[in-house]
A and B are shown apart, each in its own frame.
Chain A
């Protein structure tokens, strides 16, 4: 329950300007110069900060210097400190998926071994390479491929509230909106059956944080002497990971199911220490 409270808290931290859901305007103050840690579209009316992926992409597709030192540095620091704790506790898109997963449907607890590599391709291709290389010959600008075609956070937290509050936008929608909505609804559907499907398979921000999981300062530690090898932990894991054999796996979002399932208190939240 503490994780749920944290997720609610971070949702509000990412999106404090709730009155904007009614006004249909977005916040345009100085906080938008900074990034949020989670995948939260800056077009969300209530959003206070800019999306790290959206900002990264804007630099890659722009005409100035293409690698944002600020956003990259921010993500490296967050990754080194927390790894995918951000995914598990702070990301609004992750929060939404966790809420959807609570619905009483059949659940498919699958490993997604090969599929989970796809998010690195999404990061490389849709956030970096395509925006950087495919440019308009007149303006010189690239296109925001990930935000435009894939990101469900933009559709759900940005497009839908804005459409509800602004009638002039409704007349401007075309084929791209149909694609975006189809992707968003598809991912919402997947979230009903497979835990955190988007996070494991498509999210480029998750891909970035995943690369830091093994070295992150805060982690889940496995105390070998105390372990009874009963496999209760891997059975409780929604991602079918094995905390005993593969602690700090790149996909582990530190949700704590395994910590709670362990009868010997061999798994604990902690920092880098002797175990593993």
Chain B
């Protein structure tokens, strides 16, 4: 008997982030920090060593006053699928500490398995992975707010966004209790999605036509899961990372900022692959 877990369509959790709505307020970052027991130090202004599973980047159209335009881009782990789940980080991990699940499409990171070689950080094109250079220290009393759902990390390991996988685990518990296994759309939402005051983040199963994220993104499986929405783009899409975080913008310069285009290339144009 094969268990039911593998029955039905596998899920592919992903996000659509509307950059026209995102205000760069940072609520997603802090919701993530509070949800996932992310540590902090006295000085967090050295951003290369500041652990932020979700981080907001500021984009600019590069023009001068008064034609300047700016746009914020929240960057969680992009949960690359690559080809057949061979995302850049999973492919290089020598410790089986990071893994791709064909069942959920989530790239996991098991910190107790990680021995800190940081190959994955080198491989990740999105700087989505962070190394714990120090043991986490919570100021006296603050360890009281730590959540039991996410294990605090120790120094010497890499950590990253998990799409709040523990929320999926908990939602699944409840599904079992109700006699099922499938987790409904509203029962599994990431902390950033839930918090975003602008409602810019939509999260769900990209494979499920009933989920809002599917309806927004309309992924095209015959075209490397590219979105059929004209406003949508993915970061460094042309490298084939096949990410599951889609961004939406009505501004072309923003969509163009998602990849390294040559001057003559059209936005969204796929570079010819040489095999």
Tell whether A and B belong to one assembly: no
A residues near B, CB below 8 A?
none
